[in-house]
A and B are shown apart, each in its own frame.
Chain A
Amino acid sequence: MEDIFSGIGLAFSPYAIIAVICGVVGGIVVGALPGLSATMAVAILTPLSFGMTPAVSMAMLLGTYVGAVYGGSISAILIRTPGTPAACATIFDGYPMTQRGEAGKALGWAALGSCVGGMIGLFFLVVSAPLITRFALSFSAPEYFGLAIFGLSIIISVSGKHVTRGMISGAAGLLVATIGMDPIQGSTRFIFNSMDLLGGISLISALIGLFAVSEAFNSAETVMRESERIKQIINGLFPLWREIKGHAVLILKSAVIGTFIGALPGAGADIAAFVSYNEARRSSRTPEKFGTGFVDGVIAAETGNNAVTGGAMIPLLTLAIPGDAVTAVLLGALMIHGLKPGPMLMAENRDLVYSFFCSLFVGNLLLLVFGIGGIKVFTKVVALTKRLLVPIILILCVIGAYAVGNNLFDAKLALAFGVLGYLMQKADFPVAPLALAIILGPMAEVALRQSLIMNHGSWSILATRPISLGLLIIAALSIFFSIRQAQKENKKREAMRS
């Protein structure tokens, strides 16, 4: 009990509060800018935090973490640019909402979803970390394969009316994901003797290209013609209590998925966003609305990806194993302060652990404050004429892709993917499945091949492990119903035409 109070005292000291505020604000900016990631921001801040007390430095780093995971949604919703891979799923419904003049509403829900998702993740971290850890430990390669396939089954649902084309696009994405070093055998694949391709296609370059650059090209077509600015509604932005109640189940479910995926060391916020988006669509009464600017899509993706922050802290505190890339850096930050992450931390520095919880609480609360408070400022971006906005977006895209690894090749790659995305849209090929396959392909491949190695080449391992079997069955059902849904809609369209 004493520890709890001294922990609260540590987290609410003036320095810690200032640190968490600075962290959240900085994190939101970093998250919103394409190419700058939470991992990068936390890694660069870590040596600076050496001189601070552990509580203050972790307040800053945790603030940066939650801020950056949320920040990606802003550019995703407003300019179709994934600030981080985690915000990719937010684009599907967030950007169509902006095109309809509902950017404010989308941003409001993104902020609320992120805050509540983060809070629920934190709740699970506080009350049930050991339990979730045990469940996470039962996950190995076959289970990851099931999870990846469940995530990939969304390909059909994000393809809209073009199911076949969506599958072609997804298959192309899987192929792109194989470029680079073979993750299991170490040999090289499709690199055409280019050193730049040795490490594979940079995920963030591909996402920036497919979504943001291609959209910039699209806008450029009409740039001379119009001054058609979409009028944004900016009143009544805060979601009403009635609406929140209506979405309570969705938020809770997405947060649970996000927390759990966060706790899995092999999967992070990007995968969590896709899986909760897919689950929201699968269980929705109006799945056809997803992808057309349906607020539920934004809520599911944003709640899911921010719940990861709490979840990813779970294995860090119970096993000294990071739950995602950012917590890997946090692990290092704890260690340079002479702390022992893992079970020893809770035993030896209980007050400090409580101060981390409090800082996460404050950080998540600040997301709501800055997220809602900033809507009017953020939406000014889309009030710019396209003549100004399109070049700015293109410059951001190139710089962002370059900044990932200070590698010019990545910037060229983003432009190439931009051309690809643009041509695909012109030919009515959905782009989202390609992006999804690039994100999930490597996980599916590695998990499947590891499973087979573990089981001496026999496929039975996928069916004999209950969690993996369960996930594969859900994935199969999801594919089945998505196809039927698409067929029904196509029939409806045909009936309307004739």
Chain B
Amino acid sequence: MLRKLSVVLCLFTLLALSAPRAGDFPGKGITIICTAAPGGGSDALARMLAQVAEPIFGQSVVVVNKVGGANAVGLSEGARARPDGYTVTMATVEVVMHPLLGNVPWKVPDVFKPIMLLNSDPGAVTVRADSPWKTLGDFLADAKKRPGEIKIGCTSPGSIWHICAAALEEASGTKYNLVPYPGGAAPAVVDLLGGHVDAVTVSPAEVGPQVEAGQLRILAVMSDKRDEKFTGVPTMKELGFNVSIGTWRSFVVPKATPDAVVKVLHDGFKKALEDPKLVEFARNRGLGLDYRNAADFTRMMGEQEAMFAKIFKAYDLLPK
């Protein structure tokens, strides 16, 4: 009796140990770790994707906000998750920044396997509509005349909109008075509207309503192609500056996740990303959808890492 039981138990153990076949995936609900608090763009995108992806996977898709440490807590938790594909992490641009800044003990290629890029929003140079600068050329010429005088509102050093401002300085050889707004884009935009700073380097979406209302003017966007909504605004590249920076959001899973499972996740979420409901949501919410497969996305992260490292070095942010 005991012998039979032990054989049965051994078989069960084997069954449990054997890798889940991709055909069975997903056999239960999927959890998306959102590393930001409810309320921001990341959370909104994660929740909408979850809603649209549920019928595609035929399983529940739940968003869990793991907040703390400027996204570092959630990212690290995602890296430590069981590598079975049931825990997907929405990794933001900070996933490249934190290891560089020495805030986390891991590097992306060692702990994560990328699934896909979901969205990207570029930086842009925006001024008041009643300012004398009609083009980026005007702006840069004025900045050359009085270095360090023009005030640019951005986020804190080591975060994305500050990097955009720093990249503008570096690419054009101008100097500004960078005023950090740790509260994000909104307070910087308010101070631009109130005339307390002269320009901001946040995304076009974050100044969109004011631009449409005729209060602000975008001089240039920091992306490879022009903004869908503001087609009259040139890119930095068109103007001869090799600056293409922005924030982005992606899906990653722990490194040891089987490739077959990753493929199922990729195909499902790609379908969700193309769902008309999601496309409409993203357009309305001002989130630029930017699908890239794992290979392209990995290459992009590599390029960004090199660029961030250069800027962090210039601003003395690298760990000693």
Q: Is A460 an interface residue (CB 8 A)?
A: no
Instruction: Fill in one digit per residue for A126-147: 1 if any B CB lies within 8 Å of its CB, else 0.
Output: 0000000000111111000000
Contact B37 A188 (CB under 8 A): no
Q: Do the beta carbons of A141 and B196 come within 8 Å of each other?
A: yes
Instruction: Specify which chain A residues have a CB less than 8 angstroms from the CB of B76 in the assembled complex.
Output: 195
> How far, in angstroms, from A336 to B187 measured CA to CA in the complex?
22
Docked-complex contact A195 and B284, CB < 8 angstroms = no
Inter-chain contact B193/A319, CB cutoff 8 Å: yes
Q: List the A side residues contacting B182 at CB < 8 Å.
A: 183-184, 446
- Give the residue among B37, B39, B64 with the most A Cβ atoms within 10 A: B39
If A320-B210, A332-B44 touch, whether A450 touches B104 (CB-CB below 8 Å) is no
Closest Cβ–Cβ distance, residue B50 to chain A (whole Å): 8
- Spot the interface stretch: A4-12, A18-26, A340-348, A431-439: A340-348
Contact A186:B209 (CB < 8 A) given known A47-B51, A195-B69, A332-B285: no
Q: Is A196 an interface residue (CB 8 A)?
A: yes
Query: Given that A140-B191, A265-B190, A336-B281 are known contacts, is A456 also in contact with B177, CB under 8 Å in the complex?
Result: yes
In the complex, the chain A residue whose C-beta lies closest to that of B151 is A454
B83 at the interface (CB under 8 A from A): no
The answer to whether A265 and B286 have CB atoms under 8 Å apart is no
B171 within 8 Å of A by Cβ? no
Enumerate A173-209 residues with CB–CB distance to B below 8 Å: 181-188, 195-199, 202
Determine whether B240 belongs to the interface, using a CB cutoff of 8 Å to chain A: no
- Asked if A250 is at the interface (CB within 8 A of a chain B CB), the reply is no
Q: Could you tell me the distance in whole angstroms from the C-beta of B133 to the nearest C-beta in chain A?
A: 19
- Interface residue from B43, B104, B180 paired with A43 (Cβ < 8 Å): B43
Q: Report the Cα distance A332→B43, complex, angstroms.
A: 11
Report A-chain residues with C-beta under 8 Å of the C-beta of B136: none
Q: Which residue on chain A has the smallest CB distance to residue B66? A: A406
How many B residues face the partner with a CB closer than 8 A?
A: 59
Partner of A137, one of B194, B284, B317: B194
In the complex, per-residue mask of B251-283: 1 if CB is within 8 Å of any chain A CB, else 0 = 000000000000000000000000001001100
Given A265-B186, A266-B183, A266-B187, the answer on whether A335 and B286 have CB atoms closer than 8 Å is yes
Please state if A46 and B44 are interface contacts (CB–CB under 8 Å): yes
Residues of A close to B288: CB separation below 8 A = none
A322 at the interface (CB under 8 A from B): yes
Q: Which residues of B contact A328 (CB under 8 A)?
A: 39-40, 186
- Report how many residues on chain A are interfacial, defined by Cβ distance under 8 Å: 60
B73 to chain A, nearest CB (A): 6
Q: Does A485 contact B (CB under 8 A)?
A: no
- A450-479 near B? 1/0 per residue, CB < 8 Å: 100110100000000000000000000000
Q: Using Cβ atoms and an 8 Å threshold, which residues of chain B touch A325?
A: 39
Q: Are B37 and A138 in contact (CB under 8 A)?
A: no
Task: Provide the bound-state CA to CA distance between A186 and B76, in Å.
Answer: 20
Min CB distance B193 to A, Å, is 6
Q: Which segment of B11-19, B20-28, B154-162 sits at the interface?
A: B154-162
Most chain B CB neighbours (cut-off 10 Å) among A328, A405, A454: A405
B68 in the interface (beta carbon within 8 A):
yes
Q: Which residue of A lies closest to B195 (CB)?
A: A137
Closest to A330 in B: B39
Does residue B131 face the partner (Cβ distance < 8 Å to A)?
no
Does A329 belong to the interface (CB within 8 Å)?
A: yes
| A202 CA / B70 CA spacing, docked (Å) | 12
A195 to B68, CA, bound (A): 8
Measured in the bound complex, the distance between the Cα atoms of B40 and A39 in whole Å is: 10
| B151: min CB distance to chain A, Å | 6
The reply to whether B179 and A450 form a contact with Cβ atoms under 8 Å apart is yes
Question: CA separation between A217 and B190, bound complex, in Å?
Answer: 44
Which residues of chain B are near A405, meaning CB under 8 Å? 37, 65-68, 73
CA distance A325 to B178 in the complex (A): 25
Given contacts A40-B38, A50-B51, 11 further A-B contacts (CB under 8 A): A140-B191, A181-B158, A184-B180, A185-B157, A186-B159, A188-B103, A195-B68, A265-B187, A332-B41, A335-B284, A344-B212
Enumerate the 7 nearest inter-chain pairs by beta-carbon distance, A residue then B residue, closest first.
A405-B67, A43-B38, A320-B209, A198-B69, A186-B158, A186-B157, A183-B182
A residues touching B (Cβ–Cβ < 8 Å)? 39-40, 42-44, 46-47, 50, 136-141, 181-188, 195-199, 202, 265-266, 315, 319-322, 325-326, 328-329, 332, 335-338, 340-344, 404-407, 409-410, 446, 450, 453-454, 456
